[in-house]
Amino acid sequence: MTTAIVWFRQDLRLKDNPALYHATKKFEAIIPLYILDEDHDWATGRAQQWWLHQSLIALQNSFDRLNLKLILRKGDSFKILQELTEKNIAAVYWNRCYEPHFIKRDKEIKHQLKLNGIEIESFNSHLIHEPWEITNLQGNYYKVFTPFWRAWCKKSKDISILPSPSKNIHGKKIKSDLLENWKLLPTHPNWAIGLDQTWKPGEKSALDHLKYFISKKLENYSKKRDYPSDNSTSLLSPFLHFGEISPRQIFTAIQQTEIMHPRISTQCEHFLKELVWREFSYHLLYYFPDLPHQNFKKEFNKMSWITDKKMLYAWQKGKTGFPIVDAGMRELWHTGYMHNRVRMIVASFLTKHLLIDWRIGEKWFWDTLVDADLANNAMNWQWVAGSGVDAAPFFRIFNPNLQSKKFDPEGNYIRRWVPELKDLTKKEIHEPLIRKDYPSPIIDLEMGRGRALRYYKKLKTND
């Protein structure tokens, strides 16, 4: 009986999974395998460890219906694959990852296993178009989103979805780790209670979120997406990160909705741009692999960032004295998520008012967000800081109080996450008076803005 390993990574689903689909078509027996390999600079953050634990349980439940066992192993990916392929395994199939350390690792594994006579096939599952498939007229990569979007749309005509495997798949008995032994869940203290209350990871939940978004939220997406109390975003980003749903599934569902309801075509386009922004971030990471570590704009290498552990701690814990900032940081800690508009506000506050290095904020988000893609996280932090491609100018500095009044006018978002202010009026809540039960502002906004502008001017002068 011919047998193939299907190596799961960022594709924890059965439907529209190219590696799984093609392996089941060619081989008589399948070994689904997940390897926890953390030997790199961007090991899984604590919030995503919680999600991964739940997602692997959901994936095993899906395999139960096919009478297959998901094999779990922890350690060096190459050593584990080499060991397993010595047991009469003909092939290893996987879906590609695009983070620099994974690209390097996968190339080495592919080369060595091929030398050992193992068939290797890899597929695109995590993106609609791979980074090298979209280039400008000169054959170079895009550094501005709008022309990338136009080029991306021209290539996105006929996109199809692969079905889940049928139920007549054979497996093979292989020793597996116990998921509990990986200790991905927090215990003492259990800080993930809010995550348990907020999320249900897994492929079925991802599809449910997509259906709910299309039926209940899409129609008013562009009008409400910036208002955190309305909860009008899709909440699909963590499911996308872990591959519990594919971007192709989302794209085709939105396309079909647009065909059926042409009156909301503008809303469909607004949402698809967010999906393509994610693809743009992978496009940039592929061509600029230092994106998570280095300023894209080299003049920012001269920036004199400020090290202030006290202010950083206040920002991390939601105790800055600025209600919208504190609400966002507390939402993040409780749910592993933060509304996108608020992410921009808290990132601007850290990098501009506090002049703390964007890489410190990036690391904090990596550890606390359930949806922290390496590409998206790095690009968005550099976008806000002003050091990235197609970035907001450094001198664009969000005033958190004004942002709060504009995007949370009734103060409902703040009241939810900063309950000590819940009794204030909608006028008072954005700039609360000095109170015993709430921190005083850690910085004067005008002073912080003026200092940031001086630093930026100095950068431009020295350039």
Per-residue HEC secondary structure of 394-417 comes to CCCCCCHHHHHHHHCCCCHHHHHH
User: Is 60 exceeded by the pLDDT of residue 463?
Assistant: no
pLDDT at residue 107, as a whole number: 98
Q: Confirm whether 3-125 and 298-457 share one CATH topology.
A: no
Class of domain 127-159+203-287: mainly alpha
Q: Where do the structural domains in the chain lie, given as residue ranges?
A: 3-125, 127-159+203-287, 298-457
User: Is 80 exceeded by the pLDDT of residue 162?
Assistant: yes
Catalytic residue (one of 130, 305, 333, 420) = 305
Half-sphere exposure of 391 (CA within 13 A, CB side): 23
Catalytic residue (one of 124, 340, 401, 412) = 340
User: Is 80 exceeded by the pLDDT of residue 438?
Assistant: yes
Based on the residue annotation, tell me whether 99 is a catalytic residue of this protein: no
Kindly state the average pLDDT of the residues 217-224: 95
User: Is 60 exceeded by the pLDDT of residue 13?
Assistant: yes
User: Is 60 exceeded by the pLDDT of residue 421?
Assistant: yes
What whole-number distance in Å separates Cα of residue 379 and Cα of residue 384? 9
Catalytic residue (one of 7, 366, 381, 383) = 381
pLDDT in tens, 53-79: 999 999 999 999 999 999 999 999 999
Kindly state the average pLDDT of the residues 317-330: 98
pLDDT at residue 259, as a whole number: 95
387 band by pLDDT with thresholds 50, 70 and 90: very high
What whole-number distance in Å separates Cα of residue 130 and Cα of residue 104? 16
Based on the residue annotation, tell me whether 305 is a catalytic residue of this protein: yes
pLDDT at residue 280, as a whole number: 97
Catalytic residue (one of 130, 274, 299, 431) = 274
> 417: Cβ–Cβ under 8 A, 6 or more apart, which residues?
318, 326, 327, 328, 330, 331, 334
Based on the residue annotation, tell me whether 340 is a catalytic residue of this protein: yes
pLDDT at residue 379, as a whole number: 96
pLDDT at residue 12, as a whole number: 98
User: Is 60 exceeded by the pLDDT of residue 444?
Assistant: yes
| pLDDT above 90: percentage of residues in the chain | 90
- What 8-state DSSP symbol labels residue 170? B
Region at 213 (left for phi over 0; alpha for psi -120 to 50; beta for the rest) = alpha
CATH 3.40.50.620 fits 3-125, yes or no: yes
The CATH T-level fold of domain 298-457 is DNA Cyclobutane Dipyrimidine Photolyase, subunit A; domain 3 (1.10.579)
Q: Which residue bears the tokens 């703040």?
A: 414
Give the pTM: 0.96
CA nearest neighbour of 118 among 94, 172, 82: 82
Based on the residue annotation, tell me whether 358 is a catalytic residue of this protein: yes
460 band by pLDDT with thresholds 50, 70 and 90: confident
459 band by pLDDT with thresholds 50, 70 and 90: confident
pLDDT at residue 217, as a whole number: 97
pLDDT at residue 87, as a whole number: 86
Mean per-residue pLDDT over the chain, rounded: 95
pLDDT at residue 116, as a whole number: 95
Kindly state the average pLDDT of the residues 239-252: 98
pLDDT in tens, 112-136: 999 999 999 999 999 999 999 999 9
pLDDT in tens, 392-404: 777 889 999 999 9
User: Is 60 exceeded by the pLDDT of residue 333?
Assistant: yes
The token pair that represents 168 in the structure block: 């007549």
Based on the residue annotation, tell me whether 199 is a catalytic residue of this protein: no
462 band by pLDDT with thresholds 50, 70 and 90: low
Kindly state the average pLDDT of the residues 251-279: 96
Catalytic residue (one of 315, 358, 366, 383) = 358
Kindly state the average pLDDT of the residues 430-434: 84
CA nearest neighbour of 93 among 219, 175, 178, 2: 2
Catalytic residue (one of 42, 182, 191, 277) = 277
User: Is 90 exceeded by the pLDDT of residue 141?
Assistant: yes
